[in-house]
Structure 1
């Protein structure tokens, strides 16, 4: 057993006993619709959001441990960092598994002890056989075995360092994340988590499996402490509340919002807020109004499908309470710009679903319409059902823009051909900009610009990059200037939103054409068909079969 200095784990080094050194590594994501790799240079950023999970973990490790945090979304991992560390803790989602395993193999080749954690290992620990240890679940109040094992106080420490129980701690135990370990200026958004869990139980969703159906929340005082910390570190502008359903516990969020608004007012509204919520938020106008008053400007919702049968099939009955088009319009006109997820491939859907999706989305002020093929994630009700039916055929890699990882009810060639035509239509430049114009038409022009464009040097430089990069060099420059002119007719306050949407389009449109469509074509080739070959069912879909 290693000697200890009070609560301070130490390890033996070349010069005697010294403090434990832990390297925290955020794995790299593959290119996806959420990467925005062509958009980030316009605003001078390297990545979308800082690694909140690892910053939270760092806050709960022993105070006297020496810590370094490296985010592979921002820069490469040097061997010097690995050699510095006694233990390497790697975090990520299933889609980041290849990057996680690569880091683990590098660390082990240099003789370093490795632990994997985060959403990916929590739901599928068997996919990380190279790691010395796995930690499943949340960190707060659950790290004792991990800390003792890494410090050498647990002879023959088990591979699984997760304590028993459901892994869902009281969030009043949560500490302020250690954002001193990262450079916040490299990120497009700051991040904060208020709650975990969701009261709904959609068949395909792994959130309730990871975090439970009873949303747990931090106190308003904890949220204020995190806001103070971010503000004190110079964070300004976009702040993403990363909750999977911010309004899952409506009674508690109603207590938080006045506190959040008061904090914003005291500090001159330094943050423009964004979050995720269930679509039935539209049925709570007082809550929406309170969110807008607190500085929320954007919300992600899971619309999924216009098919009532598919919504019932997957257990997303909250979306049946109000028509999606009406809900989106109400949220937008109240001041919340909507971006949304859509899914094709539910068992009850027929080949007309692609035209129905296109008709729905084309009429909505949702430029960022993230459409994907249904995938079965490990541990979900969908996974268990398909496994029982003998329809699972491979592990999900988290990529929902190709073949499903199960045998679909629809002919698979019809599914992929219809999906191809859907995303091609959605991200045709004119169609994307038409939805941007709907945002400009319906979103209120703010009398108070909440950290929108500003007049600081960084914002002016970004404006110059946008004007040159899109307004002059982009093949979409004519559409860009038409959107700017359209925004000016609404008022100067609408222009920053138009510019931001155009910047987003510079990632979504090329990604569709450069990555998604070729990926689907390869999948169709695997099935023995060309994307241009007429497919029974898909060819009959009006507007998509050309």
Structure 2
């Protein structure tokens, strides 16, 4: 069998970093880990081609060559996902799909024409699909009745990737999260009991990347790296000597819940193992809203002090914030902005609340008849997909104002500097090498932030201060400044798109009011 594996185009978003990637000569933030893991599960006598459409587009020859097309997608990729399915069907190819989006909304893929739906986790459903193919079945939906043992997951096919195209390469240690945040779909996809790989597995995957010469970030894409703290510590104790023996070949980043601040040993182990950055879902500084979405783990200690503690230990924080929770008090955007400025968090992923398909929130809002038609999205330029408890115009105005102010160049540079100055932990004293990608990016950032913009004096003073006082942080600091170029540009797109949607919403309301007035009986 000749299988063409396709990863759809990722629209410009918070996570795309498109402006910074373009300046650096890179094509995408991360490769499709799910697809290269599935590729490792396919029969050894199959021929496999992977095309990440964010790196290059597949050719007519690719389509002619293949017998089978396998497409994975997240919800933000839904438009290109649909087009790829339809093209495969038009060309008479067998089309199989999988990944988080079709698993959550299988009817979307079915309506687009996909013949095979390989849903849930591939360790369970890829073998079902292969058996169905062997029997000559032309269609099928394959679902798992249990969660797989990830200690049996093969090493992903990193060899299928053009590694030089990515800012970070992804690996996975665990699946699942012990918490039950109402808006999150992770527990639906992977369950509440975190399952982990063995340290030997993880070191084997990292060794492959090391032998391939990888040197930029390695993103451990667990939705909660510390969901199983015991096993995370076991991995870290094995990882530290591996990283030390190889002189810390690449910086690590991951996602973790804020209760990381409650475990001093775990923080210390992560820093010693070479973790440079951790994404944390803070969501909101409003404790009432946190309790309302069942995110109690963020209410046990001071959010501010937890962030400061983690940063002081040597970990850069990237955070998630959301506006639009039920019964949220006016001024939520201002409170989020003040919190971010106080903690100095450079990159704050700010979103309007969306009810993701089949989450506890989606189910509740459906019962309350508050859902709008259409699918939710994680895209920052989209309105909420449900009726909130306060006027949507008020929420969106706060959101636009907060997003815009956070990514003004001068405040961004100031808080990024404060954040890095706060890091006083025992981070490994490694000077990262600048390759041609960084060397291409460096003069552009220096020109834009150090000459063209009003940040010029601040930029040079802060850059020199970090280089002299914290040289081991210089690489990460420069990356943070570079990513700012994406946000400085992206905020214009978000503002314009949301304002256009609000205008349409207002026009529709006026039309409905006019129609209602005309239908009123004359007394």
Q: Same fold (TM over 0.5)?
A: yes
Structure 2 residue 62 is matched with structure 1 residue 112: no
Q: Which residue of structure 1 lines up, in the alignment, with residue 514 of structure 2? A: none
Contact kept? 1:271, 1:450, Cα under 8 Å = no
Residue by residue over 1:339-376, the C-alpha shift from the partner in whole angstroms, topping out at 9 and shown as x without a partner, is 10000101120212122112211111211011111000
Aligned pair partner of 1:236 in 215, 231, 234: 215
Structure 2 residue 282 is matched with structure 1 residue 294: no
SS in 2 for 1:190: strand
Structure 2 residue 227 is matched with structure 1 residue 245: no
Q: In the TM superposition, what is the alpha-carbon distance from 1:105 to its structure 2 partner?
A: 1.4
Provide closer, same or farther for how the CA distance between residues 475 and 402 of structure 1 changes in structure 2, counting only shifts above 3 A: farther
Aligned pair partner of 1:224 in 203, 212, 216: 203
Residue by residue over 1:199-238, the C-alpha shift from the partner in whole angstroms, topping out at 9 and shown as x without a partner, is 0010000000000000000011100110111111111131
Q: Which residue of structure 2 lines up, in the alignment, with residue 146 of structure 1? A: 129
Aligned pair partner of 2:139 in 157, 168, 172: 157
Contact kept? 1:483, 1:498, Cα under 8 Å = no
Contact kept? 1:446, 1:493, Cα under 8 Å = no
Q: In the TM superposition, what is the alpha-carbon distance from 1:301 to its structure 2 partner?
A: 0.1
Aligned pair partner of 1:79 in 56, 60, 69: 60
Structure 2 residue 502 is matched with structure 1 residue 524: yes
Q: Which residue of structure 2 lines up, in the alignment, with residue 512 of structure 1? A: 491
Q: Which residue of structure 2 lines up, in the alignment, with residue 24 of structure 1? A: 5
Provide closer, same or farther for how the CA distance between residues 368 and 140 of structure 1 changes in structure 2, counting only shifts above 3 A: same
Provide closer, same or farther for how the CA distance between residues 457 and 350 of structure 1 changes in structure 2, counting only shifts above 3 A: closer
Structure 2 residue 173 is matched with structure 1 residue 194: yes
Provide closer, same or farther for how the CA distance between residues 72 and 474 of structure 1 changes in structure 2, counting only shifts above 3 A: farther
Residue by residue over 1:160-192, the C-alpha shift from the partner in whole angstroms, topping out at 9 and shown as x without a partner, is 1x14403x2000110000011111121111211
141-150 or 400-409, which moves further after superposition?
Answer: 141-150
For 1:134 and 1:77, locate their aligned partners in 2 and report how far apart those are by CA, in whole Å.
22
Unaligned runs of 5+ in 1: 1-19, 530-546
Aligned pair partner of 2:400 in 420, 435, 446: 420
RMSD: 1.9
Contact kept? 1:277, 1:300, Cα under 8 Å = yes
Q: In the TM superposition, what is the alpha-carbon distance from 1:440 to its structure 2 partner?
A: 2.5
Q: Which residue of structure 1 lines up, in the alignment, with residue 72 of structure 2? A: 91
Q: Which residue of structure 1 lines up, in the alignment, with residue 118 of structure 2? A: 135
Structure 2 residue 359 is matched with structure 1 residue 380: yes
If the length of structure 1 is used for normalisation, what is the TM-score?
Answer: 0.88
For 1:497 and 1:156, locate their aligned partners in 2 and report how far apart those are by CA, in whole Å.
50
SS in 2 for 1:137: coil
Q: In the TM superposition, what is the alpha-carbon distance from 1:423 to its structure 2 partner?
A: 1.0
Within 5 A, what are the aligned runs for 1:290-439? 290-394=269-373, 395-439=375-419
Q: In the TM superposition, what is the alpha-carbon distance from 1:469 to its structure 2 partner?
A: 5.3
Unaligned runs of 5+ in 2: 508-523
Q: In the TM superposition, what is the alpha-carbon distance from 1:519 to its structure 2 partner?
A: 1.3
Q: In the TM superposition, what is the alpha-carbon distance from 1:42 to its structure 2 partner?
A: 3.8
291-300 or 101-110, which moves further after superposition?
Answer: 101-110
For 1:356 and 1:179, locate their aligned partners in 2 and report how far apart those are by CA, in whole Å.
43
Q: In the TM superposition, what is the alpha-carbon distance from 1:388 to its structure 2 partner?
A: 0.5
If the length of structure 2 is used for normalisation, what is the TM-score?
Answer: 0.92
517-526 or 267-276, which moves further after superposition?
Answer: 517-526
User: What is the count of residue pairs matched by the alignment?
Assistant: 504
Aligned pair partner of 2:16 in 23, 35, 42: 35
For 2:380 and 2:446, locate their aligned partners in 1 and report how far apart those are by CA, in whole Å.
33
Provide closer, same or farther for how the CA distance between residues 364 and 263 of structure 1 changes in structure 2, counting only shifts above 3 A: same
For 1:74 and 1:477, locate their aligned partners in 2 and report how far apart those are by CA, in whole Å.
33
Provide closer, same or farther for how the CA distance between residues 274 and 479 of structure 1 changes in structure 2, counting only shifts above 3 A: same
For 2:425 and 2:301, locate their aligned partners in 1 and report how far apart those are by CA, in whole Å.
26
For 2:444 and 2:380, locate their aligned partners in 1 and report how far apart those are by CA, in whole Å.
32
Q: In the TM superposition, what is the alpha-carbon distance from 1:500 to its structure 2 partner?
A: 1.5
For 1:476 and 1:80, locate their aligned partners in 2 and report how far apart those are by CA, in whole Å.
49
For 1:445 and 1:329, locate their aligned partners in 2 and report how far apart those are by CA, in whole Å.
12
Q: Which residue of structure 1 lines up, in the alignment, with residue 193 of structure 2? A: 214
For 2:379 and 2:329, locate their aligned partners in 1 and report how far apart those are by CA, in whole Å.
22
Contact kept? 2:351, 2:378, Cα under 8 Å = no
Contact kept? 1:203, 1:382, Cα under 8 Å = yes
Q: Which residue of structure 1 lines up, in the alignment, with residue 517 of structure 2? A: none
Contact kept? 2:403, 2:491, Cα under 8 Å = yes
Structure 2 residue 153 is matched with structure 1 residue 174: yes
Segments ≥4 residues shifted beyond 6 Å: none
Q: In the TM superposition, what is the alpha-carbon distance from 1:290 to its structure 2 partner?
A: 0.3
For 1:366 and 1:418, locate their aligned partners in 2 and report how far apart those are by CA, in whole Å.
19
Contact kept? 1:413, 1:527, Cα under 8 Å = no
Q: Which residue of structure 1 lines up, in the alignment, with residue 40 of structure 2? A: 59
For 1:223 and 1:93, locate their aligned partners in 2 and report how far apart those are by CA, in whole Å.
25
361-370 or 520-529, which moves further after superposition?
Answer: 520-529
Residue by residue over 1:109-166, the C-alpha shift from the partner in whole angstroms, topping out at 9 and shown as x without a partner, is 2111111110000001111212122111111143222113334x244533x1x14403
